[in-house]
Amino acid sequence: MGWGVKTGLPYIWHSKASNPFVNLKKEYKGIFWQEEIIPFFQSVKMSKEATTVQKCYIELSKEVKEKLGKVDPYFDKLADAMVTWIEAWDELNPSSAEKPAK
């Protein structure tokens, strides 16, 4: 689609000490999820109807729910939150909802 992606340092930086064992307990599922997530994102395709960033994100949310929702209920919540994010964005930025993709 020719769209750019924002990369670089995070907008928010924190340097507080953390416990690696607590972190591992909170994040261990991600290690297993990679087996599903990486191939998912490598293979995801947008339809021709996905002509705006918002439409692409909504399509992606549907794919996340359908394909990754089986992996863990977290992905169902994530997909719902993705839709909520776009709805909020469009409400606060009405002109951006109408701009087609380049």
Q: With 60 as the cut, is the pLDDT of residue 32 above it? A: yes
* Average of per-residue pLDDT values in the chain: 88
Going from the C-alpha of 24 to that of each of 20, 28, 33, the distances in angstroms are 6, 5, 14
> Is 4 in a helix, a strand, or coil?
coil
Q: With 60 as the cut, is the pLDDT of residue 102 above it? A: no
pLDDT in tens, 70-88: 999 999 999 999 999 999 9
Q: With 80 as the cut, is the pLDDT of residue 41 above it? A: yes
For residue 97, what pLDDT is reported?
58
Q: Which range (3-7, 24-28, 34-38, 69-73) has the least confidence?
A: 3-7
